[in-house]
Amino acid sequence: MIMKRYYFILMILINAFPCMTVTGQKDHARNPVIWADVPDMSIIRVGNIWYMSSTTMHMSPGVPVMKSEDLVNWETVSYACNTLGNNDELNLLNGKNAYGRGSWASCLRYHDETFYVSTFSSTTGKTYIWSSKDPEKGPWKEISFSPSFHDHTLVFDDDGRVYLIYGNKKLTLVELNADLSGVRPGGINQVIIEDASAPSGTDSGLGEGSQLFRKDGKYYLFNITWPRGGMRTVVVHRADSLTGPWEGKLVFQDLGVAQGGMTDTPDGRWFAYLFRDYGSVGRIPYIVPMTWENGWPVIGTDGKVPETLDLPPGKGLIPGVVAPDEFIRKKGDPPLPIVWQWNHNPDNSLWSVNRRKGFLRLTTGRIDTLFTQARNTLTQRTIGPECSGSTLIEVSHMKEGDFAGLALLQKKYGIVGVRFSNGARSVVMINAQSGAPVEVESIPLNQKRVYLKAECDFTDRRDIAYFYYSLDGKTWKPIGNQLKMEYSMPHFMGYRYGLFNYATREPGGFVDFDWFRIMNERTDNK
């Protein structure tokens, strides 16, 4: 407990002086600005502060909102929704799930001193709009209606009317009720662009990710397309009126960095915010300089994504995007720090940080046979180019058939954990690289506490994970084999660290996690 409090104090000091983080940048910001899965960004500037929403699909809470004072260093400040819905898919019931679905690309707006976040869901068949006066503290008020408008952008026009632009390739403008409660009867509902991919010069089959902006009296609509045999590409259409006519242009094509929009700085500079598919770590954000030429945005430095930016240096992703947790809670603290998300909706009756102070307790409540269908897996993002996640787990109250530990969650997952079988405990490593779980190694465990660790190497898309255990927290031993991580469907998400416990024979057992620690480097078994 003394060492735990020491670590807690140490992290407070590190957070107070973020320049101490290993991934800090010396003089200027560097791309990617966030080496973690933060896709489908929507960014607005309000005064000197930027806010960003993004996609976390089947995670709960969902639709995260982040804040930055410099476009480079971001911290999660809230979620627009606690749970998206209450069906079998989102609750992992009856063999169903919402992997790769849940909520997709959101849109963040500021209008009449109110913040709005909108998204859509094929899982529920609805479009959602949340509003709040305070994006950091909330609360967020929800409005939802059918149908689900794909990849829409929310538009508060100068005439006081409200619209969505949505679709893939064929983009449609639809008018909403003034109170945002649904589609306005008899309002505008028309196709404004027949083929959003056309400016790329080929039939890509893709023209989505709409984000609309207004500048100098013109409307600018950003979309992503993917020319056959080419790479992800930014296409922009412009018009003097929402109903058109619209003219389009291919504005950026480099490294597959695409999909997003534009923002400016208080001193008049312009930047595009885009993301890149980067293997198993996920879809990672880039900031790219932008200028204007003949009324069109010109993105990039000589048409390329620059490695460095004339912006303040990054201070690392800890603790703004991911963070360690000693599970120590002071009066007034939330039960979980904001960086945590549950894999699907949790069963709140089966987890606690209060039943044993300084510990996260996960209790089993049903029988499961597959890790990816188990409820109450608590997750955080992995981060690049390297990272290490570790935990200390106490397993004295497991029941026959229970399995608990530390996972790297994706369809092709990897696990280092403790299994209680035939009255004995074992440390096991599971590798699901083939698409099905394989127990690679099992080592008898003759004590009640064990340290577990998983490390990731995303450098140059190497995408290799390594697993370890320790009996004393000092000497780490490798277990099992390497996991070749893969950004595979249907999860549609970068790998995440997950703390889990599920029963295969008898519910009611529990485990206590003493802490979770994440570092932005591999520790090489130290």
What single string gives the DSSP state of each residue in 155-192?
EE-TTS-EEEEE-SSSEEEEEEPTTSSSBPTTS-EEEE
Is the pLDDT score of 507 beyond 60? yes
Q: Is the distance from CB of 500 to CB of 488 less than 8 angstroms?
A: no
Give pLDDT, residue 6. Answer: 52
Calculate mean pLDDT across residues 476-483: 98
Q: How far is CA 126 from CA 64, 80, 180, 186, 240, in A?
A: 18, 15, 13, 20, 31
Q: Tell how strand 171-176 and strand 189-193 pair up.
A: antiparallel
Q: Tell how strand 258-264 and strand 74-81 pair up.
A: unpaired
Local confidence band at 27 (pLDDT 50, 70, 90 cut-offs): confident
Give pLDDT, residue 205. Answer: 73
Q: Tell how strand 449-457 and strand 464-470 pair up.
A: antiparallel
CA 504 vs. chain centroid, Å, equals: 30
Burial class (CB in 10 A: 0-12, 13-18, 19+), 337: middle
Give pLDDT, residue 156. Answer: 98
Give pLDDT, residue 472. Answer: 97
Q: Is the distance from CB of 227 to CB of 206 less than 8 angstroms?
A: no
Calculate mean pLDDT across residues 72-101: 97
Is the pLDDT score of 357 beyond 70? yes
Q: Is the distance from CB of 187 to CB of 174 less than 8 angstroms?
A: yes
Give pLDDT, residue 335. Answer: 97
Cα 19 from Cα 104, distance rounded (Å): 34
The reply to whether 341-519 shares the fold of 46-309 is no
Local confidence band at 7 (pLDDT 50, 70, 90 cut-offs): low
Mean pLDDT of the chain: 94
Q: Is the distance from CB of 196 to CB of 235 less than 8 angstroms?
A: yes
Give pLDDT, residue 203. Answer: 75
Domain 46-309: which CATH class? mainly beta
Cα 264 from Cα 436, distance rounded (Å): 47
Calculate mean pLDDT across residues 365-391: 98
Percent of the chain residues topping a pLDDT of 90: 92
Give pLDDT, residue 5. Answer: 55
**Better-scored residue on pLDDT, 453 or 489:** 453
Calculate mean pLDDT across residues 41-45: 98
DSSP 349: G
Is the pLDDT score of 19 beyond 80? no
Q: How far is CA 319 from CA 324, 337, 348, 353, 385, in A?
A: 7, 10, 25, 20, 16
Local confidence band at 23 (pLDDT 50, 70, 90 cut-offs): very low
Q: Two tokens at 322?
A: 């991911």
Is the pLDDT score of 155 beyond 50? yes
Cα 65 from Cα 75, distance rounded (Å): 9
Q: Is the distance from CB of 515 to CB of 326 less than 8 angstroms?
A: yes
Is the pLDDT score of 26 beyond 60? yes
Give pLDDT, residue 170. Answer: 96
What single string gives the DSSP state of each residue in 391-451?
EEEE-TT--TT-EEEEEEESSS-EEEEEEEETTEEEEEEEE-TTSS-EEEEEEEE-SSEEE
Calculate mean pLDDT across residues 55-77: 98
Domain 341-519 in CATH 2.60.120.200? The answer is yes
**In the chain, where the domains are located:** 46-309, 341-519
Give pLDDT, residue 229. Answer: 84
Cα 119 from Cα 199, distance rounded (Å): 26
Give pLDDT, residue 189. Answer: 98
pLDDT tens per residue across span 391-444: 999 999 999 999 999 999 999 999 999 999 999 999 999 999 999 999 999 999
Is the pLDDT score of 489 beyond 90? no
**Better-scored residue on pLDDT, 354 or 5:** 354
What single string gives the DSSP state of each residue in 466-512?
EEEEESSSSS-EE-S--EE----TTT-S--EEEEEEEBSS-TT-EEE
Is the pLDDT score of 14 beyond 90? no
The widest CA-to-CA distance across the chain, in whole angstroms, is: 75
Give pLDDT, residue 202. Answer: 78
Q: Is the distance from CB of 148 to CB of 160 less than 8 angstroms?
A: no
Give pLDDT, residue 18. Answer: 39
Characterize 415-454 residue by residue with b for buried, 16 or more Cβ atoms within 10 angstroms of its Cβ, and e for exposed: bbbbbbbeeebbbbbbbbbeeebeebbeeebeeebbbbbb
Q: Name, in order, each residue with C-beta under 8 angstroms of 160's C-beta and a sequence gap of 6 or more.
A: 178
Q: Is the distance from CB of 174 to CB of 183 less than 8 angstroms?
A: yes
CB half-sphere exposure, 236, CA atoms < 13 A? 22
pLDDT tens per residue across span 236-295: 999 999 999 999 999 999 999 999 999 999 999 999 999 999 999 999 999 999 999 999
Kind plus residue range of the DSSP H or E element containing 298: strand 296-299
Which of 23-37, 271-285, 441-455 has the least mean pLDDT? Answer: 23-37
Q: Which of 143, 90, 93, 151 is nearest to 119 (CA)?
A: 151
